[in-house]
Amino acid sequence: MAYQWGVDQVVFWLIQNHLDECAPAFWTSKITGSQLLNELKQSDFSEMAIPESLIPILTHKIEELKNQQINGITITMVHSPSSTELMTK
């Protein structure tokens, strides 16, 4: 369940969803799955220096993920590298 994801899984999810540009900010802010799905607001994205052009896409993807969780759809991570591994590529 995405609610249980650590920072590494959130970063990996961002990359899987072509939001690579957001990954460093999420990693630096230590955003977990619970925070991603429950706590983040659009104003937080601006504070995290997420590019304004990506905020609507990011918001949409988070809503999709929430809906998947509500409907019981399991998100499978094939390989979830560590944040350090992702940030050094």
- Give 58-73 as a 3 state SS string: HHHHHHHHHHHHHCCC
Q: Which two tokens stand for residue 48?
A: 């995290």
Pick the CATH number of 2-71 from 3.30.2400.10, 1.10.150.50, 1.20.950.20, 3.20.10.10: 1.10.150.50
pLDDT tops 80 at residue 41: yes
Which long-range contacts link 49-54 to residues 24+ away (Cβ below 8 Å)?
49/25, 50/22, 50/25, 51/21, 54/19, 54/21, 54/22
pLDDT tops 50 at residue 88: no
Asked if residues 35 and 4 have their Cβ atoms less than 8 Å apart, the reply is no
pTM of the predicted model as reported, rounded to 2 decimal places? 0.79
**What integer is the mean pLDDT of 22-40?**
96
Domain ranges of the chain: 2-71
Q: Which two tokens stand for residue 57?
A: 């896409």
**What integer is the mean pLDDT of 10-26?**
97
